[in-house]
Amino acid sequence: MDALDVARWQFGVTTVYHFLFVPLTIGLSVLVAILQTMWHRTGNERYLKLTKFYGKLFLINFAMGVVTGIVQEFQFGMNWSDYSRFVGDIFGAPLAIEALVAFFLESTFIGLWIFGWDRLPKRAHLASIWAAAIGTNLSAYFILAANSFMQNPVGYRINPDTGRAELTDFPAVLTNKVALITFPHTLAGSFLVAGSLIVAVGLWHVIRNRDSADTGAYRFATKFGSWVVLVASAAVLFTGDIQGKIMTDVQPMKMAAAEGLYTTESPASFSVLTVGSLDGSRELFAIKIPYLLSYLGTGDPNGTVHGINDLQAQYASQYGAGSYTPIIPVTYWSFRFMIAFGMAAAAIALLVLWSHRKGRTPTSRWLLRAGLVMPVLPLLANSFGWIFTEMGRQPWIVFGEMLTRNGVSRSVSLTEVLTSFTAFTLIYASLAVVEFKLLVRYARAGVPDLTPEPADDATDDAERPLAFAY
């Protein structure tokens, strides 16, 4: 074990952890904004209750996304300083713009939204949640543009004197085709999580809290969330399909690694499940769909998909001796888990909608269990998706330009990076427990009662309690 290994583990753990909270922030900010807009338009209190209810869950989650996000920005410099030196001229710009353009918008207007219920005109208050939602979604774009440069570097040159990457075409970085498709794919994945949470909580109240005066609100939320999940999963599939073709084009090794495809095939079949020796020499058991991989990768059922062995040989002659193959079991299984978990959530959403058909009220305990598992599924799908896309890029930190092992901080010792890895893991683990318990607590509590709190002693306007206080 050396500092490089620990730095990689730390990046993996802190990033996957951060991305447990981000999708909910991205998706739920918009969905809560939609609910509040519905209240604004119809005046129906049901939507106000749901806005406040899901808004609370949103905020419990939001706090975690914020604080774990700062770690991400610092980590590049702390653990990956040679990477930061190499790409800073390009990579720093989207990060800085993300902060200036998106994070300020998000954080300022979230504050206005949380505390502004009684201090802002209704319209301004509604605009605040939309501004925060837009900020959140914008931030995703900039950070994905930065990440896409690592997958498919564009708009740069290598300065022969310094050996550093230099920006030559900023619009090209922002319109990197990997970024353009990863952005909608990530948003769709985020709405899958947010919709699932809305369903899980709503369905729990529909089934377990049957006599509630707010059953109508929960029924609405459950169906609303289910539709969000269905639309989002269609969008995930659609964008994922395009993404696969772009990946085959710009990172053929990643596609081959996703499939464990060792030899070039045309047409190539998609392996649903293969059990075999990891070096690809022997297949024990396999379920395959003919032509599918060719179609996924190239759009042509007879298209050629390059195999790992050929690509390895090609890269070795291009970049010098060494292994250019990611860890195949990781990429193979994470790719499948991503798809399976995401689609499982969609299947449950269909069941939930079916259970509500023609005004019916579901009672099934199995459906309830499935509903409660639902938010976990797209979270896992997102995590595996990121593990796949980042592990599939290895051994590169910037594809074709810098190896991960050359990006690590030279001045940081094993002890230091172990200290930080341990500290983050511990604090993150304990906060995860706290956050989960709070979410459950507030989800169980249900929608709020809207009758205002009676004033303390004085009814003087200046001494009225705040509508919301920490």
Partner 1 sequence: MELTTVWFLLVAVLFTGYFILEGFDFGVGMLLPVLGRDDRERRVLINTIGPVWDGNEVWLITAGGAMFAAFPEWYATLFSGFYLPLLLILLALIARGVAFEYRHKRPEAWWKARWDRAIFFGSLLPAILWGVAFANILRGVPLDGDHEYVGGLVDLLNPYALLGGLTTLALFLTHGAVFVALKTTGEIRERAGALAVKLGVGTAVVAVAFLTWTLTIRSSAAAVVLAVGAALALLGGLAAARVRREGWAFTGTAVAIALAVATLFAALFPNVLPSTLDAAGTLTATNAASTPYTLKIMTWVAVVFTPIVLAYQGWTYWVFRKRIGVVHIPRH
**Minimum CB distance to partner 1, residue 15 (Å):** 14
How far apart, in whole angstroms, are the C-alpha atoms of residue 167 and residue 182? Answer: 21
CA end-to-end distance (rounded Å), the chain:
45
Question: What one-character DSSP code corresponds to residue 400?
Answer: T
Q: What are phi and psi of 179, to 5 degrees?
A: -65, -45
Where do we find the tokens 């289910």?
226
Per-residue contact track with partner 1, 5 to 44, x per CB under 8 A? Answer: ----------------------------------------
Read off the tokens for 432. 């995860």
Closest CB to partner 1 among residues 62, 295: 62
Residue of the chain from 44, 107, 304, 406 that contacts partner 1 (CB under 8 A): 107
Residue of the chain from 284, 285, 458, 461 that contacts partner 1 (CB under 8 A): 458
Of residues 118 through 157, those in contact with partner 1 by CB under 8 A are 119-120
Altogether, the residues listed in the chain come to a count of: 470
Residue of the chain from 5, 82, 249, 401 that contacts partner 1 (CB under 8 A): 82
Residue of the chain from 23, 27, 88, 342 that contacts partner 1 (CB under 8 A): 88
Residue of the chain from 161, 211, 456, 461 that contacts partner 1 (CB under 8 A): 456
Closest CB to partner 1 among residues 12, 92: 92
Of residues 152 through 191, those in contact with partner 1 by CB under 8 A are 166-168, 170
Read off the tokens for 131. 């501004």
How far apart, in whole angstroms, are the C-alpha atoms of residue 337 and residue 295? Answer: 20
Q: Which of 324, 199, 192, 302 minimizes the C-alpha distance to 251?
A: 324
Closest CB to partner 1 among residues 84, 304: 84
User: In 365-381, which positions are buried (b, 16+ CB within 10 angstroms) versus exposed (e)?
Assistant: eebbebbbebbbbbbbb
**Minimum CB distance to partner 1, residue 255 (Å):** 31
Query: Residue 396, SS3?
Result: strand
Read off the tokens for 226. 């289910």
Cβ(308)–Cβ(372) below 8 Å:
no
CA dihedral 382, 383, 386, 389 (to 10 degrees): -100
Amino acid at 128: S
**Minimum CB distance to partner 1, residue 35 (Å):** 21
Read off the tokens for 296. 């996924």
Cβ(345)–Cβ(378) below 8 Å:
yes
Residue of the chain from 89, 241, 265, 401 that contacts partner 1 (CB under 8 A): 89
**Minimum CB distance to partner 1, residue 148 (Å):** 17
Closest CB to partner 1 among residues 57, 380: 57
Rule CB under 8 A: is residue 98 a binding residue for partner 1? yes
Binding residue count for partner 1, defined by CB under 8 A: 79
Rule CB under 8 A: is residue 436 a binding residue for partner 1? no
Of residues 226 through 285, those in contact with partner 1 by CB under 8 A are none
Rule CB under 8 A: is residue 210 a binding residue for partner 1? no
Region near partner 1 per CB under 8 A, out of 63-71, 182-190, 230-238, 239-247: 63-71
Residue of the chain from 4, 13, 34, 63 that contacts partner 1 (CB under 8 A): 63
Of residues 365 through 424, those in contact with partner 1 by CB under 8 A are 409-412, 416, 419-420, 423-424
Question: What one-character DSSP code corresponds to residue 305?
Answer: B
Closest CB to partner 1 among residues 18, 46: 18
Closest CB to partner 1 among residues 103, 399: 103
Cβ(128)–Cβ(116) below 8 Å:
yes
How far apart, in whole angstroms, are the C-alpha atoms of residue 345 and residue 351? Answer: 10
Other beta carbons within 10 Å of 442: 16
Q: What are phi and psi of 287, to 5 degrees?
A: -115, 120
**Minimum CB distance to partner 1, residue 70 (Å):** 6
Q: What are phi and psi of 379, to 5 degrees?
A: -65, -45
Region near partner 1 per CB under 8 A, out of 81-89, 187-195, 252-260, 309-317: 81-89
Closest CB to partner 1 among residues 5, 166: 166
Closest CB to partner 1 among residues 321, 462: 462
Residue of the chain from 12, 34, 92, 175 that contacts partner 1 (CB under 8 A): 92
Query: Residue 157, SS3?
Result: strand
Closest CB to partner 1 among residues 14, 355: 14
